[in-house]
Structure 1
Amino acid sequence: MRTTTPANGSVSHWFSETGLPAPGPPLPGGRDADVCVVGAGYTGLWTAYYLKRARPELRIVVLEKEFAGYGASGRNGGWVVGELPGTRAAFARTHGREAVVRFQHALHASVTEVVTEAAKAGIDADLVHGGQVTVARNAAQLARLRADVEASRSWGLTEDDLRLTEPGEHIAVAGGLGAAFTPHCARVQPARLVRGLAAAVRALGVEVYERTPVTDLLPRAGAAEARAVTPHGTVSAPWVIRCTEGFTAAFPGSHRDWLPMNSSMIVTEPLPDDAWADIGWRGAELLGDMAHYYMYAQRTADGRIAFGGRGRPYRFGSRLDDGGRTPQWTVDVLRRMLADMFPAARGVPVAHAWSGVLGVPRDWCATAVLDEGTGLGYAGGYTGHGVATANLAGRTLRDLVLGEATDLTTLPWVGRRVRRWEPEPLRWLGVQLMYGLYRRADAREETLGRTSKLARLADAVSGR
């Protein structure tokens, strides 16, 4: 095992491969536009991309505090997954079961949409539509896995969408008792995708200004249009759309809207051929598990394992991360988890560790909103399923801005207003309690044989 410390922070391993970009020029002064997009991550860039493709004459301005992809879009686990960003029951209560089924199918289609549109735009982002494996490693996890697959049938998912598999059919995980497979997932190199998108929207004629923090968002007032205020000038437009996900808490009045939940990752050096032979991970499947304190992983295009999970999940007062640096104890926990699941990788050094924040609403359900009265819109709260969902959000916001009634604008997340999080210190205490209970539940379930009551208590605390 390597004795030197792996790289830590510097945004992510994905950007260590591409090189950290030099930020583009800031906003040169006040601007009038047809649409102003705040945030140059996946949501903002896909929104600008689809709007400009639909209406080339639109004047679209994108504002970004750092550089395109600095946030979760450049730090995530590289999962383009068609998984519902929220609970089916919550969406069904307001819109009915049929709407939830349509939402699920729209997300499945979004995985293919990301792959095909990236190819059309000439973006080489290591995209492979290889599916996702979810493994169960004890009796409690196996029971939950089987129950989840059975429940999915009642929501319109077929054997082609999700099926149980034998242990090791795709990936040999140590201690695996069973697994499930869905084809609705693709692997991606996140930084290549977001930087490719930024180049694509610029080529279409969208103005992208980096190093331009937005300090306030102002609604329409009388004859005045909506406005995005920056130190370099104000952009006025009929529509100002906030696409800032985990960084939303920094905006005035939005401190409790979405919790900036922290997630951490490590990536190994490339594994030798004999290790891969033991692991049997020959394709580009993504890997997750049924633990409450779950993990997520991919085999990278150059033969590494990128492995993520919860480290320090939340900072008091919704404070944001510092460029992706990860505490050493989190790196050690992730390293032990990886070695436990893949003994053949135990001696492979960790090359890089990093962290990022994702946006979590109080009801754990994503939303896409455009308010005709104020001229302000937003999308996010993806709860970790943002790569595919951001693409769906971009197409949905396009239709809303253009005033077109489509299948997308009637999906159950459109216009959804979510309950705000509790004030501090209740917010911090609740998150610490929730994840502490989940960790203890995972430990108990190693021998318990059923889902721990502690996990059910954590679910009640979380509101899921």
Structure 2
Amino acid sequence: MSSQTAFERNRPAASLVADALRDSRPAVFWLDGLERPARPTLTGGQRADLVVVGGGYTGLWTAVRAKERDPDRSVIVLEAHEVGWAASGRNGGFCDASLTHGEENGRRRWPAELDQLDRLGADNLDGIEQTVQRYEMAVEFERTGELSVAVEPHQVEWLAGADGFLDAEAVRAEVNSPTYLAGAWSREGTALLNPGRMALELARVAEQLGVEIYEHSAVTGIERGERPTVRTERGWVNAERVALATNVFPSLLKRNRLMTVPVYDYALVTEPLSQAQLAEIGWRNRQGLADLANQFHYYRLTADNRILFGGYDAIYPRGGRLDSAHEERPATFTRLGEHFFTTFPQLAGLGFSHRWAGAIDTSTQFCAFYGTAAGGHLAYAAGFTGLGVAATRFAADVMLDLLGGCPTERTELEMVRRRPLPFPPDPIAALGIGATKWALDRADHNQGKRNLLLKALDAVGLGFDS
């Protein structure tokens, strides 16, 4: 029989949440007030060895890694708006070593490769840390790990035997929430950073290495040939190779139009906590946190001791269309506020300063997929499904390997070679996503038990265990 979750059993007063949200601004905390250098718009014709389409993490890492591999290679990045303005500047800043969206998803899909993928993911995270140090990137990088917390009795069973297991007393000694029944602290697999600063710093490093970045230069098409021509509204670039890093935005390749769908994710950030408020909750080790539900929350401290609290609702927009109107969703922000004060009732009276949303590029395998086109002159990566802060660097290396034409350990991975199933077109996609979300919610209300729909999706490789 269905039962209430901890967030329904311990719902705070509506007036408390309304007061906390009253003065919040619809703005991305990470991007608010960031100073950006002026960058040109592409006009006229150019030539380059490599053109990267997209100025988020995937594109910027591709540009940086390309110049690190070959400093003499000419590289141009074309960004439709400003670098890092979309998902790369809007996420929670969890820089996770996993390339497979968690161990369970990796074990279900690529069991023979899981150890190898874990090693490559750990090496990739180490590489990010080394890059931050080498170029003195001011990104508030903290390798504090992630604390997974059980807030329902059946979730305690899932954590039993996990490395870093903490019982209720031990986990509350780390972070003091009455909802915590147990936890597991993965100390090395996750770092935290400032997403907005990461995007701007990657762009700075890229330009320092000789990359040309053009903003407000949306690509309108690619003409294939021995040297593809990438066209924008006001200019073009004749390139030896092209890397597509458009992620959630409609693919420039027809074959990939149904490979991802946008899902909107929402977040709140509080005002800075006082020393007394910090003392109430502990959190001295500043780990990232996430609970274990299918509809899960993620949260963390910022450099100035605010709390970012996001997740739970995942909204698929009608028709799969991206629209800034989807970012303002009062019911979702109210729900997040309720869940925040259920988690930390001792912080009653604390206000939220920022509220925002961003679109996640979701694939049916819940992590990135890769490939080439135009006779190997073009490579692409997309579908990170909300876990791309670190995996985009790995994707950059995969695309550069593919464009190089010589097999590597990365390109020989089944995860890289195999394309996931596409989504069906709407309205079938909307019906399927809605039914899946309903089933995941039902499981959260039924001791985590997956119903026939979820078991069927698991069987055909479409299942998701967060």
TM-score range, shorter chain: 0.7 to 0.9
CA-to-partner distance for each residue in 1:255-277, whole Å, 9 max, x for gaps?
31111111111000011222211
2:73 pairs with 1:58: yes
Q: Distance in 1 between matches of 2:271 and 2:252?
A: 35
User: Relative to structure 1, is the Cα distance of residues 328 and 96 closer, same or farther in structure 2, using a 3 angstrom cutoff?
Assistant: closer
Q: Identify which of 435, 447, 457 aligns with 2:453.
A: 457
3-state SS of 1:215 partner:
strand
3-state SS of 2:416 partner:
coil
* Paired position in structure 2 for 1:135: 149
Q: Distance in 1 between matches of 2:75 and 2:306?
A: 39
* Paired position in structure 2 for 1:114: 128
Greater CA drift, 234-243 or 353-362: 234-243
Note if contact 1:369-1:414 (Cα within 8 Å) is conserved in structure 2: yes
Note if contact 1:365-1:381 (Cα within 8 Å) is conserved in structure 2: yes
User: Relative to structure 1, is the Cα distance of residues 3 and 404 closer, same or farther in structure 2, using a 3 angstrom cutoff?
Assistant: closer
Q: Distance in 1 between matches of 2:231 and 2:448?
A: 49
CA-to-partner distance for each residue in 1:322-376, whole Å, 9 max, x for gaps?
1883311111111111111111223210100111111111232422323471522
* Paired position in structure 1 for 2:34: 18
Pairwise CA distance, 1:312: 5.0
Q: Distance in 1 between matches of 2:214 and 2:391?
A: 24
* Paired position in structure 2 for 1:383: 385
2:152 pairs with 1:170: no
Q: Distance in 1 between matches of 2:91 and 2:105?
A: 26
The AA in structure 2 aligned to 1:203 is Q
3-state SS of 1:379 partner:
strand
- Number of aligned residue pairs: 438
Task: Give unmatched runs, 5+ long, in structure 1.
Answer: 150-161
Pairwise CA distance, 1:452: 3.0
Q: TM-score, normalised by structure 1?
A: 0.88
3-state SS of 2:267 partner:
strand
CA-to-partner distance for each residue in 1:89-131, whole Å, 9 max, x for gaps?
876788661x221111211222222122012112111101000
Q: Distance in 2 between matches of 1:377 and 1:323?
A: 32
Greater CA drift, 392-401 or 286-295: 392-401
Q: Identify which of 286, 289, 309 aligns with 2:288.
A: 286
* Paired position in structure 2 for 1:158: none
* Paired position in structure 2 for 1:304: 306
3-state SS of 2:385 partner:
coil
Note if contact 1:312-1:330 (Cα within 8 Å) is conserved in structure 2: no
* Paired position in structure 2 for 1:153: none
Pairwise CA distance, 1:67: 0.5
Note if contact 2:378-2:403 (Cα within 8 Å) is conserved in structure 1: no
The AA in structure 1 aligned to 2:82 is F
User: Relative to structure 1, is the Cα distance of residues 30 and 460 closer, same or farther in structure 2, using a 3 angstrom cutoff?
Assistant: farther
2:67 pairs with 1:71: no
User: Relative to structure 1, is the Cα distance of residues 174 and 90 closer, same or farther in structure 2, using a 3 angstrom cutoff?
Assistant: closer
2:102 pairs with 1:84: no
Mapping of residues 240-259 of structure 1, within 5 Å: 240-248=242-250, 252=254, 254-259=256-261
The AA in structure 2 aligned to 1:110 is N
Q: Distance in 1 between matches of 2:50 and 2:194?
A: 29
User: Relative to structure 1, is the Cα distance of residues 326 and 163 closer, same or farther in structure 2, using a 3 angstrom cutoff?
Assistant: same
* Paired position in structure 2 for 1:350: 352
Q: Distance in 2 between matches of 1:304 and 1:94?
A: 37
Pairwise CA distance, 1:205: 1.0
3-state SS of 1:27 partner:
coil
Q: Identify which of 6, 17, 25 aligns with 1:7.
A: 25
Identity %: 29
Pairwise CA distance, 1:307: 0.7
* Paired position in structure 1 for 2:138: 124
Pairwise CA distance, 1:170: 2.3
User: Relative to structure 1, is the Cα distance of residues 429 and 96 closer, same or farther in structure 2, using a 3 angstrom cutoff?
Assistant: closer
User: Relative to structure 1, is the Cα distance of residues 209 and 238 closer, same or farther in structure 2, using a 3 angstrom cutoff?
Assistant: same
Q: Distance in 2 between matches of 1:344 and 1:87?
A: 32
* Paired position in structure 1 for 2:6: none
* Paired position in structure 1 for 2:3: none
2:149 pairs with 1:144: no
User: Relative to structure 1, is the Cα distance of residues 87 and 168 closer, same or farther in structure 2, using a 3 angstrom cutoff?
Assistant: closer
Q: Identify which of 385, 394, 400 aligns with 1:398.
A: 400
CA-to-partner distance for each residue in 1:144-193, whole Å, 9 max, x for gaps?
3338x4xxxxxxxxxxxx43122324222222111111121011000001
The AA in structure 2 aligned to 1:377 is A
Note if contact 1:23-1:67 (Cα within 8 Å) is conserved in structure 2: no
Q: Identify which of 369, 375, 381 aligns with 2:371.
A: 369
Q: Distance in 2 between matches of 1:302 and 1:405?
A: 45
* Paired position in structure 1 for 2:210: 205
Task: Give unmatched runs, 5+ long, in structure 2.
Answer: 1-18
Q: TM-score, normalised by structure 2?
A: 0.87
Q: Distance in 1 between matches of 2:68 and 2:87?
A: 25
3-state SS of 1:172 partner:
coil
3-state SS of 2:342 partner:
helix
Q: Distance in 1 between matches of 2:342 and 2:67?
A: 48
Q: Distance in 2 between matches of 1:102 and 1:163?
A: 22
Cα RMSD for the two superposed structures: 2.4
